[in-house]
Chains A and B, each alone.
Chain A
């Protein structure tokens, strides 16, 4: 098993790189990945507008480039030309570093994103735990952004954001605990290697508890990324624009970019934990570069499918009220997640970690052998 992208390249070319070349290769890989993610984030805004237009029977952006696909570049140019305003009464230092915290939290989580078995930047042995840790930086960024603006709308948005993000972290953590138990390891490669490429071996169909767990994770992830129907921190009809009311130009763009990349990251984690990750059916392509590219395609297709669902949910469901939000988190999702954790523990203990498919298969085989003779 390759630990980092550099060790994969070493394995492929049969060489040993020194420290300098390792750092250079990492820089190159990170640069590529960050650019790809920035484009995914940009196209996310485009997809959001196009899909919402589709749902509401409108045209959506269609002027810039073919089908308006270059809209996000035009938006970027507009953002960079905007005047940069820092309110006089704001806390200037915190105001400056809040978007940076958001973006660095999201980008740091890309380090363990298992895009394929070889191209993963770094397969940390504490992978999913690291991911939970660094994505909490986004919550800090949201809260500090709201606090530093010294504007009442931003303050309310930041407070709501902080309470919402930390609340929904509890069911998400408990669900991830359950998946770690099924896989028996924290690294994302370990989590994926317990699954098969075809749906019968995915962890979502492993047992009834992980099936419920998928939906808990997905709801929690929606809330953690401040996506509708949980977009209370930036509820535009109540709080003007929430925690980034006072931000303009590029500073606002980084909040938006961080949000869209984070949505992709949570979709990717859901793919890795529940939907078989990068596994290619029948191991087509093997471990070589072609296999890696097939794995990339599979992984990104699954993640984009989930991304579509996230956008679809946003334009279908109305926003929750703030007390309903807390009730859903603490009175429904958390107890269900605890119940799931206990259930999955007992399942692993009683059935020795076998999935429902394997149990049924064994049962059917035993039955057929018994009936045949």
Chain B
């Protein structure tokens, strides 16, 4: 392929994002001439089933969300690291060194599985930690 083509292949991405921006702001702009605008205090209040909202919603989150995010980051990074390996796995097999790649991949996945088992045993994968069976509670 020519070098000019390799630069061009990313053009549609930018055009699509531009198109999305145009769509959002264009529709809001067109709507500006059509829609009514009678703001009042009640209308602009956060919805809380008809009650006056108490305090802000930007409070402390439950720590479970952070644990999920941490576990996700571990897995996603490992996934991103495995992508190049699996993409060339068959080419490595063709030149006869598939076994080495296979072994390294298996070791890598083995470490990943250890991570899952560790999180599982620690109870980080349970959404509600106290939700254990009575048998487990007796231990």
Contacts and interface: CB of A to CB of B under 8 A. Distances in A.
Interface string B1-40: 1001100111111011101110111011011101111110
A56 to B, nearest CB: 27
B65 A163 contact: yes
A69 interface: no
B9 A122 contact: yes
B116 A82 contact: no
Contacts of A342: 106, 109
Nearest to A147: B58
Contacts of B69: 163, 166
A18 B27 CA distance: 33
A333 to B, nearest CB: 12
Contacts of A186: 83, 87
Interface residues on B, range: 35 or more
Nearest to B58: A150
Contact of B12 (A26, A177, A334, A352): A26
B99 A349 contact: yes
- Interface SS of chain A: helix
A362 interface: no
B47 A22 contact: no
Interface stretch (A44-52, A263-271, A290-298, A320-328): A320-328
Interface string B84-102: 0011111101000011001
A30 B125 CA distance: 42
Interface stretch (A103-111, A202-210, A212-220, A365-373): A103-111
Given A80-B27, A83-B36, A149 B46 contact: yes
- Interface SS of chain B: helix
Nearest to B27: A250
Interface stretch (A1-9, A222-230, A280-288): A1-9
A83 B44 CA distance: 11
A224 to B, nearest CB: 13
Contact of A349 (B1, B93, B116): B93
A89 B56 contact: yes
A30 B106 contact: no
B84 to A, nearest CB: 9
Interface stretch (A58-66, A153-161, A301-309): A153-161
A120 to B, nearest CB: 9
Nearest to A166: B72
Given A150-B46, A170-B75, A111 B16 contact: yes
Contacts of A235: none
Interface string A94-127: 0000011001101110110000000001111000
B45 to A, nearest CB: 7
Shortest beta-carbon contacts, A-B, top 9:
A323-B127, A184-B90, A104-B20, A151-B46, A173-B79, A181-B86, A155-B57, A121-B12, A330-B125
Given A83-B37, A103-B23, 10 more contacts: A23-B11, A80-B35, A104-B21, A122-B10, A163-B69, A170-B75, A170-B79, A180-B87, A184-B91, A245-B47
